[in-house]
C-alpha cells in the first residue's frame, strides 16, 4: 500500500514514522507548505518531499491528513477527487455541514474515511470495554499544561472532543440535554470548560477539560450497577472494582474484587494507523468512521455554542485584567 502524509508538523511527523516502519506499506512521500519542513521529514524517512499535496495524491493509495482543522474540508474533497482513502485527524472538520459533505462524497466513491480519535486505540480504553454493562454516571478529566500548539481552536475541539467521542460510544442512548460552563484565560478561545451530558436513558457524564493547568491528568471513571471502572489514559491503566451485592465486610463496606491491568508498552498511534491500513486493504468500516467523527463534532459544537451564548450574556464583560 502506497501511503503519504499531508502536514508534517508536530503530529504529522509521527504518522510518517509509523508508515515508514510498517510492514506491507511504502511511505511514498510527505507534503507540507513549508518546503524546509517537508524536506527535513522526507529525508528522515527516506521518501519524497512535496509542497503541493495534490501532487502527492497522484502517487498514493491512502494518506493521513494532519493539517489545521480549518483546511480539513478542502483537503478531504481533493483526496476524494483523487480517489485516495483518508485518515483524517480529529476533529473531522469545523462544521457539521462540511462533515456531511465529506462523508457523502466519500461514500459515493466507496472510499475509506477514518477519523483520528486516538484515545479509542489507547489499550486501557480497549481493555475496559468488556467490563462495560449499563453505565449510569461517567466522570472524566482531561487537564493539561499550556502548550503553544493547538491554541488556534477552542479547548472543546482540542481536548474535550476525545472524551465526548468515548462517552458517546459507551452510552447507548440518544443525548437529551447539555449544560456547560467555560472561559478564556490565556487565549482568545475557551481554555477551560465543563459539560454535563444527560442522556435519554438517564445516564449522565460530567466532562472537564483545561489546557492551563500545572500538571497533566487524563482519566475517566465509569459507575454502573455492581462495578466501578477507573481508566488512566496517560499511564495506560484500567482498574475495575466489582462490588458484591448483599455481601459485607466487618466494617460494613461491601465486599470487593479489584482487577488492575497495565499496558506500559501500548502505542495508540501505531494501532490507529495499522487499523487504517487494514481498512484500506480489506475495504472494511473503521472503528471511528466519518459518521462517528461527525457525531462527536456535533456535540462538541453544541458545547461551544452554549458557552459562547453564556459569554454573550455578559459573564465575561469585564476585562480579564480586572479593569
Q: Tell me the mean pLDDT in the region 281-310.
A: 95
* pLDDT for the residue 265: 79
Say whether pLDDT at 79 is over 80. yes
220-224, 256-260, 311-315, 319-323 — which one is most confidently predicted on average?
220-224
Paired residues of 179 in beta bridges: 196
Q: Is 251 helix (H, G, I), strand (E, B) or coil?
A: coil
Say whether pLDDT at 185 is over 50. yes
* pLDDT for the residue 46: 97
Name the residue ranges covered by the structural domains of the chain. 2-111, 120-264+300-314
Which is higher by pLDDT, 147 or 184?
Answer: 184
Helices (H), the chain: 12-21, 35-44, 53-57, 72-82, 96-108, 123-128, 155, 161-170, 268-282, 290-310
Q: Rg for the chain (alpha carbons), in Å?
A: 21
Give the homologous superfamily in CATH for domain 120-264+300-314.
Answer: Dihydrodipicolinate Reductase; domain 2 (3.30.360.10)
Q: Is 318 exposed, middle or buried (0-12, 13-18, 19+ CB in 10 A)?
A: exposed
What are the tens digits of pLDDT across the range 194-252? 999 999 999 999 999 999 888 889 999 999 998 999 999 988 899 999 887 766 676 66
**pLDDT band with cut points at 50, 70 and 90 for residue 310:** confident
For residues 316 and 139, give the distance between their C-alpha atoms in angstroms, rounded to a whole number. Answer: 27
What are the tens digits of pLDDT across the range 154-163? 899 989 999 9
Give the homologous superfamily in CATH for domain 2-111.
Answer: NAD(P)-binding Rossmann-like Domain (3.40.50.720)
Is-cis flag, bond preceding 259, omega within 30? Answer: no
Strands 48-50 and 113-116: unpaired
Which is higher by pLDDT, 289 or 188?
Answer: 289
Q: Tell me the mean pLDDT in the region 12-39.
A: 97
Give the least confident one: 18-32, 71-85, 214-228: 214-228
Say whether pLDDT at 321 is over 50. no
Which is higher by pLDDT, 266 or 78?
Answer: 78
For residues 163 and 207, give the distance between their C-alpha atoms in angstroms, rounded to a whole number. Answer: 7
For residues 75 and 72, give the distance between their C-alpha atoms in angstroms, rounded to a whole number. Answer: 5
Strands 175-183 and 137-145: unpaired
What are the tens digits of pLDDT across the range 162-173? 999 999 999 999
Q: Tell me the mean pLDDT in the region 295-304.
A: 96
* pLDDT for the residue 20: 97
**pLDDT band with cut points at 50, 70 and 90 for residue 145:** confident
* pLDDT for the residue 322: 38
* pLDDT for the residue 317: 41
Q: Tell me the mean pLDDT in the region 58-65.
A: 98
* pLDDT for the residue 238: 94
Give the least confident one: 29-38, 289-298, 309-318: 309-318
End-to-end CA distance of the chain: 59
Q: Is 300 exposed, middle or buried (0-12, 13-18, 19+ CB in 10 A)?
A: buried
The mean predicted confidence, pLDDT, of the chain is 91
Amino acid at each position: 500500500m502506497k501511503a503519504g502524509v499531508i502536514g508534517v508538523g508536530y503530529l504529522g511527523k509521527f504518522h510518517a514514522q509509523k508508515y515508514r516502519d510498517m510492514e506491507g506499506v511504502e511511505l511514498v512521500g510527505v507534503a507540507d507548505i513549508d518546503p524546509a519542513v517537508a524536506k527535513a521529514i522526507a529525508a528522515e524517512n527516506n521518501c519524497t518531499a512535496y509542497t503541493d499535496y495534490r501532487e502527492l495524491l497522484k502517487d498514493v493509495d491512502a494518506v493521513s491528513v494532519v493539517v489545521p482543522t480549518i483546511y480539513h474540508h478542502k483537503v478531504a474533497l481533493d483526496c476524494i477527487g483523487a480517489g485516495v482513502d483518508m485518515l483524517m485527524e480529529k476533529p473531522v472538520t469545523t462544521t457539521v455541514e462540511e462533515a456531511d459533505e465529506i462523508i457523502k462524497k466519500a461514500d459515493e466513491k466507496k472510499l475509506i474515511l477514518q477519523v483520528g480519535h486516538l484515545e479509542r486505540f489507547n489499550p486501557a480504553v480497549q481493555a475496559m470495554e468488556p467490563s462495560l454493562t449499563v453505565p449510569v454516571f461517567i466522570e472524566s478529566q482531561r487537564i493539561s499544561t499550556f502548550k503553544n500548539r493547538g491554541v488556534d481552536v477552542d479547548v472543546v475541539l482540542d481536548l474535550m472532543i476525545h472524551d465526548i467521542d468515548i462517552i458517546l460510544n459507551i452510552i447507548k442512548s440518544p443525548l437529551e440535554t447539555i449544560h456547560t460552563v467555560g472561559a478564556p484565560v490565556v487565549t482568545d478561545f475557551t481554555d477551560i470548560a465543563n459539560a454535563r451530558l444527560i442522556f435519554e436513558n438517564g445516564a449522565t457524564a460530567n466532562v472537564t477539560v483545561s489546557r492551563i493547568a500545572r500538571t497533566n491528568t487524563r482519566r475517566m471513571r465509569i459507575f454502573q450497577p455492581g462495578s466501578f471502572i477507573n481508566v488512566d489514559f496517560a499511564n495506560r491503566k484500567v482498574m475495575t472494582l466489582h462490588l458484591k451485592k448483599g455481601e459485607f465486610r466487618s466494617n460494613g463496606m461491601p465486599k470487593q474484587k479489584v482487577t488492575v491491568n497495565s499496558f506500559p508498552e501500548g502505542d495508540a498511534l501505531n494501532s490507529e494507523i495499522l487499523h487504517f491500513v487494514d481498512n484500506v486493504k480489506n475495504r472494511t468500516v473503521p472503528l471511528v468512521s466519518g459518521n462517528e467523527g461527525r457525531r462527536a463534532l456535533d456535540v462538541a459544537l453544541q458545547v461551544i455554542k452554549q458557552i459562547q451564548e453564556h459569554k454573550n450574556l455578559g459573564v465575561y464583560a469585564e476585562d480579564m485584567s480586572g479593569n
